[in-house]
Each structure stands twice: as C-alpha cells, then as structure tokens.
Amino acid sequence: MNILLTGGLGYIGSHTAVVLQGAGHRVFLLDNLSNSRLDVAERIGRITGTAPVVEVADVLDTIRVRMMLRHHRIQAVIHFAGLKAVGESVAQPLAYFHHNVAGTISLLRAMADEGVRQLVFSSSATVYGQPQRLPLAEDHPTRATNPYGRTKLHIEAMLQDLAASDPAWRIAILRYFNPVGAHDSGLIGEDPNGIPNNLMPYIARVAAGQLPHLNIWGDDYPTADGTGVRDYLHVMDLAEGHRAALDHLGRTHQSCDIFNLGTGQGTSVLQMVRAFEQASGRPIPYRIAARRPGDVAACWADPTKAQQVLGWRATRTVHDMCASAWGFAVRAGGQRSCQEDLAHK
C-alpha cells in the first residue's frame, strides 16, 4: 500500500515508517519539522535500504495535503502530526487547538476530497484522566485534565461523527500508553530539545552524565514502592501496532473503532531507574521531590481488545526498552558533541 504518515519524521512516526517499509509498504512522510529533523529520513533509509519520500509541509495546508494524496496515490493515512507537551498545552491552549484539532480537520477535508478514507489516529491514554479502575479498558470513562488531552478527545469525537456520517470511512483510534525506547540500530529514537519532561529521555541524559540527577516526582503514592506506575511500551512494539491496525482496516466492516496499545504491565519510576542502571551499566543518581501537579498514581492498559481484534501484542521487555534507549542516547550524544566540535571550529 501507499501510506502517508503525517508527522512521519517524529519519534513514533519514524519507527512506524521503518516497520511499514519492512513489511513492503511504500511510505510518504509529511512533516513541518517543528519537532524533528530532515536527516531522520536518511536514517530510516540506512535502516531499511530505502529513504522515504518526505515533503516538508504543514497538515494545516489542505491544498498541499490534497496534492500529496493525489500525486502519490495514497491509500491510507496515519496521523501522527501534532503538539504533545502537556505543560505547554496549559500555557498555549490555542496553539494546541490549532495544530491538533484544526490540523486534523484540514487533513480530513483533504482525505474526503481525494476519496482516501482509511485513517489511523494517534490518541493517548491521557484521555482516561484519573483512573476509576485498573487496568484501563477502552470503555473506561474519558475525562481530559489538560488542553492537550482535550484536543485528543475532541478529535476522537470528530472521527466518530465523521464515520457515522459516511460508512465508507475506516478509522482506527489508537490510545498509546507510555512509548519509550528506540530502534536497535541506535539511528532513530526520542531526542527532545532542551531538558526532557518525560521520564525515559531524562534518565538517559542522567546516565550519559548530561544532567546531574533525576528528580523523582513523589514517593508517597499508594503504589508498591510509593513512586508513580505507568505502562511503558517499546516504540517498536507500538510501531508494529500501527501495521496491525492498517491490516485490520483492510478487512473490517466497522467504520470507526478504538484500541488501547499498551503492555498491560505497570512499572514504577524506581523500577525503571534500576532497569536503566542495569541496561546501561551507569549509575542514575536521584532525589525524591514533590509530586508533579496533574500526575496520577498509576495507569496501565487492558490490551485485550488489540490482542483479540488486531492480533497484536507487545513482546519487548522493560530491559529491551532501556537497552535500546541507551543505545540511541550513546549515538545521539556522540553526534551532539561532534556538532558542538564543528560549531567551535
């Protein structure tokens, strides 16, 4: 199939491009480079043997998206493009509604006009808000607690309305839990600008000696060791989930469906610190700090529906997640210091 990946140069999009190319699909990436770099396409090429076609463009540019769908005879779209930082969404809600909600409307208009009606959408476990029960199944009530989460809920509702209006649509909404790790080559991974907000990239920077210590946000939660528990999911398992979702769209009669993508296992912050120390052979100094506002104590998926309907399950371990994240950090750190050397010359 010819598949368009919006936000395809980003963290999850780039790994999904690798998996889809490996499965024989032709992938086309559209990205505005707001949180990624063009050289990711060349790295995908080094892994798979073929660098994907990239167009530097914005999903808000409906005409440009239409041209891309038509020109490359796209049959399905995976929509990753969007903004994703919870704190930033509180400070700049309009930017989030613009890029995420208006961006999706623009994409859907282009798809409708060009007769492309297969879509996989990147949603998030954040739509469940404070869990009322664990594990979280798809029918758990939703309640966003910040503007970012609200954009995901608005988009989910729009997609359901659209599918109800025209049963020709085939839409899979994927609610990701906590994606971490990297491709085993170390060529692609998650490398946020500035000081990371998320646990895994922060730990990797501490292990690499680029940050002095990790702040653990609270050790007084009602969890086994008092630290927050999450369902961490290897990004390559997640990427394979997209392939399974696309295959499913080709055979389903349902116009819109929702799937959790997680492992079903919870891991605490302290367990993650220990696993990373083991995988990297480096100490991770940490300090216990106050709880981070808005954090929930524990959150993990019931992934049964994805197993039964998509035939997908996560297979990689927490050790695999840490080892691959460390492999990427070592390579990315080397590249960063190389660039700094060149900048000084």
Q: Which stretches of the chain bind ligand WQD, using CB under 6 A?
A: 84, 86, 124, 126, 178, 197-199, 202, 214-217, 228, 230, 269, 292, 295
Query: What is the number of the residue whose Cβ is closest to ligand WQD?
Result: 228
The entry of ligand WQD, ligand NAD, none that residue 295 binds, CB within 5 to 8 Å by partner kind: ligand WQD
If one asks whether residue 321 binds ligand NAD (CB under 6 A), the answer comes out as: no
Measured from the CB atom, the residue of 74 and 269 that comes closer to ligand WQD is 269
If one asks whether residue 7 binds ligand NAD (CB under 6 A), the answer comes out as: yes
State how far the Cα of 176 lies from the Cα of 126, in Å rounded to an integer: 9
Of residues 105, 110, 96, the one with CA closest to residue 161: 105
Q: How many Å is the maximal CA-CA distance in the chain?
A: 60
- Each residue 96-135 as x (binds ligand NAD by CB under 6 A) or -, in order, gives ---x---x------------------x-x-----------
Smallest distance, ligand NAD to C-beta of residue 278, A: 23
Name the 3-class secondary structure at 208.
coil
Which residues are part of the catalytic machinery? 148
Which listed range, 11-19, 256-264, 311-319, 326-334, lies at the site for ligand NAD (CB under 6 A)?
11-19
Which DSSP letter does residue 136 get?
A: B
180 Cβ partners below 8 Å, 6+ apart?
190, 199, 200, 232, 233, 234, 235, 321, 325
If one asks whether residue 10 binds ligand NAD (CB under 6 A), the answer comes out as: yes
Give one DSSP letter per residue of 155-189, joined into a string: HHHHHHHHHHH-TT-EEEEEEE-EEE---TTSSS-
Q: Cis check for the bond before 135: say yes or no (omega within 30 of 0).
A: yes
Of residues 207, 144, 197, the one with CA closest to residue 175: 144
Measured from the CB atom, the residue of 110 and 174 that comes closer to ligand WQD is 174
139 Cβ partners below 8 Å, 6+ apart?
none
Residues 322-341 that bind ligand NAD (CB under 6 A): none
Options 3, 4, 11, 129; binder of ligand NAD; rule CB under 6 A: 11
Residues 178-207 that bind ligand NAD (CB under 6 A): 179
Which DSSP letter does residue 88 get?
A: H
Measure Cα distances from 192 to 37, 84, 151, 160, 197 in Å.
11, 12, 21, 32, 9
Measure Cα distances from 342 to 159, 285, 337 in Å.
47, 31, 9
Smallest distance, ligand NAD to C-beta of residue 178, A: 6
Measured from the CB atom, the residue of 103 and 147 that comes closer to ligand NAD is 103
Residues 36-55 that bind ligand NAD (CB under 6 A): 36
If one asks whether residue 80 binds ligand NAD (CB under 6 A), the answer comes out as: yes
Q: What angle in degrees, to the nearest 10, is found between the helix axes of 318-344 and 269-280?
A: 70
Residues 241-280 that bind ligand NAD (CB under 6 A): none
The entry of ligand NAD, ligand WQD, none that residue 118 binds, CB within 5 to 8 Å by partner kind: none
Encoded amino acid at 93, one letter: P
Give the binding-site size for ligand NAD (rule: CB under 6 A): 26
Which DSSP letter does residue 333 get?
A: H
Smallest distance, ligand NAD to C-beta of residue 167, A: 26
Residues 19-38 that bind ligand NAD (CB under 6 A): 31-36
Query: What is the number of the residue whose Cβ is closest to ligand NAD?
Result: 10
Smallest distance, ligand WQD to C-beta of residue 322, A: 14
Interface residues with ligand NAD (CB under 6 A) are 6-7, 9-13, 31-36, 58-60, 80-82, 84, 99, 103, 122, 124, 176, 179
